[in-house]
Amino acid sequence: MAIAEQSTQSDGRVDLPDHGTIRDSPYYNDELAPVPVEKRTWTTYNYFALWMGMAHNIPSYTLAASLIALGMDWLQAFLTITIGNLIVLVPMLLNSHAGTKYGIPFPVFARAFYGVRGANVAALLRGFIACGWFGIQTWVGGQALYVIVGKLTGDGWINSTVVLGQHWTLWLCFAGFWVAQMLIIWRGMDAIRRFENWTAPLVSVGFLILLGYVLVKAGGLGPILSAPSKLGWGAEFWAVFAPSLMAMIAFWATLSLNMPDFTRFGGSQRKQMRGQILGLPTTMSFIAIVAILTTSGGQVLYGEAIWDPALLAARFDSPIVVVIALVALVLATVSCNLAANVVSPSYDFSNAFPKRITFAMGGLITGIIGVAVMPWRLISDPSIYIFAWLNFYGGVLAAVAGVLVAGYWFVVRTELNVTELYQDHGRYWFNGGWNIRAVVATLVGAVLAVGGAYTAAGTPGPYPADGLIPLLRPLYDYSWVVGGVSAFVIYLVLSIQDRKTAAVHHSESAHQPEGEARA
């Protein structure tokens, strides 16, 4: 197959003007194709709005609120979340660079290091996690609809017949919310971008209404800020802090991998970086402080930390407040779900079968798997939410991130050949389409990170108290760091060793007599 020439713009972005040599490749389709430079038009505001839409949602709220439920005070919870967001921003920006420079989505980027076929390991790991998140977001959005309709129609809706452990009216809201999102997904990526842009400024309204109502009822900030930590600042706090910090990082560990899916549309590196730096830490800090103060206020009012905003709002006396607040939260949840949990798996599933699965079909698959994982169980308890769900998948995906960062910035030094990312038997084919070094680094990093997964005494969870692999139990509290660092180091060492071996073989061949070399 002929290799088309790529051109480099004055700002460093690389374009592939002619797709003719790769269009017939089995690893190419329109969604996975490199975006032409003239169509890379997203601005700083687009990325800021994207993060506002993704960060301001009910699971982000419950993430912060869960720390209050685990015993932290407002300051401890806020610091934990802020530190976690600043840490995860680093690999996110490092992986975003390739999307803007080459106009390629995450699965295609992963081909450079896992191999054209092996990239499906990274892509499908990310995709299946996104399916779980899609289900969680859809469930909590359905819960919000359930409360809204209940406030408008009365107790008959809220206290309907229980079917399979939930009220049938809640199941109905869940299904309706699912269908509405599928209709938007079916219209493609541009429809998602437009939806993000107009909902972003409205997203914070619902949370501010909830906070304002709680502050008025609780008598201001005084009673909230004076509430003491149940953990103190000693050993009991640090035992909760470490896994909670890993969970905060893991919350966006998915996006730290697949941000190229969005930055491939970036007008420049500066625009996407500035939009993300302005967007992620600020919007997450905002939602964190709102969630922390609202949950703490609810604790003052009702004597318990209600970490689900829909359930908290259901306690309010004013139907108007509840409806306005939760309608805004529903829009926020749709906005986040489409961007964070549909775009990536749609590309990921399409990468597995480029000629059969379109972006829209990938979104439908995401929606179906999102229901199959039973999200109502994942979100049922803060201990399961943080320790079993976030910490586990965070460690696994960190191993993938470690390979990508090591490969892109240290092995190939940001230089890729776009054409060969879509070809078999090119430089990214490795061995049968697989780069075993990347697979080994990912596997070892993931096992070290989550092999010791355990359930703490007295809390619900799927893991044994001594850990899946008891020897690795102490590492699980630091799962994201362990997975990322170990995979980074292993891949770098294996790649350097492979280059040295190749250099030795090349040198030996060069010094052989002509006849021996021919033999």
> pLDDT tens digits, residue range 395-417?
999 999 999 999 999 999 999 99
Asked if the model's pLDDT at residue 517 lies above 90, the reply is no
pLDDT bucket at 489, cuts 50 / 70 / 90:
very high
Residue with tokens 């040599």: 21
For residues 284-292, give the mean pLDDT.
Answer: 83
For residues 209-232, give the mean pLDDT.
Answer: 76
Asked if the model's pLDDT at residue 516 lies above 70, the reply is no
For residues 178-199, give the mean pLDDT.
Answer: 69
Asked if the model's pLDDT at residue 518 lies above 50, the reply is no
**For 102-111, 157-166, 185-194, 302-311, which range has the lowest pLDDT when averaged over its residues?**
185-194
For residues 496-504, give the mean pLDDT.
Answer: 67
pLDDT at 201: 59
pLDDT tens digits, residue range 56-84? 777 777 777 778 778 888 788 889 989 99
Task: Report the sign of the C-alpha dihedral through residues 157, 161, 162, 164, in that order.
Answer: negative
Structural contact between residues 260 and 105, judged by C-beta atoms closer than 8 angstroms: yes
Phi, psi angle pair for 7, to nearest 5°: -115, 150
Q: How far is CA 216 from each of CA 103, 219, 222, 228, rounded to the nearest angstrom?
A: 49, 5, 11, 20
pLDDT bucket at 382, cuts 50 / 70 / 90:
low
Asked if the model's pLDDT at residue 514 lies above 70, the reply is no
Report pTM. Answer: 0.83
pLDDT at 409: 97
**Alpha-carbon span 258 to 271, nearest angstrom:** 18
**Alpha-carbon span 257 to 121, nearest angstrom:** 13
pLDDT at 225: 67
Asked if the model's pLDDT at residue 357 lies above 90, the reply is no
Averaged pLDDT score across all residues of the chain: 84
**For 212-221, 336-345, 408-417, which range has the lowest pLDDT when averaged over its residues?**
336-345
Asked if the model's pLDDT at residue 132 lies above 70, the reply is yes
For residues 264-279, give the mean pLDDT.
Answer: 94
pLDDT bucket at 223, cuts 50 / 70 / 90:
low
pLDDT tens digits, residue range 418-463? 999 999 888 999 999 999 999 999 999 999 999 999 987 767 678 8
Q: How far is CA 386 from each of CA 299, 333, 394, 469, 515, rounded to the nearest angstrom?
A: 20, 19, 10, 20, 65
Alpha helix stretches (DSSP H) within 309-355 = 309-313, 319-341, 343-352
pLDDT bucket at 294, cuts 50 / 70 / 90:
confident
**Alpha-carbon span 166 to 408, nearest angstrom:** 47
pLDDT bucket at 519, cuts 50 / 70 / 90:
very low
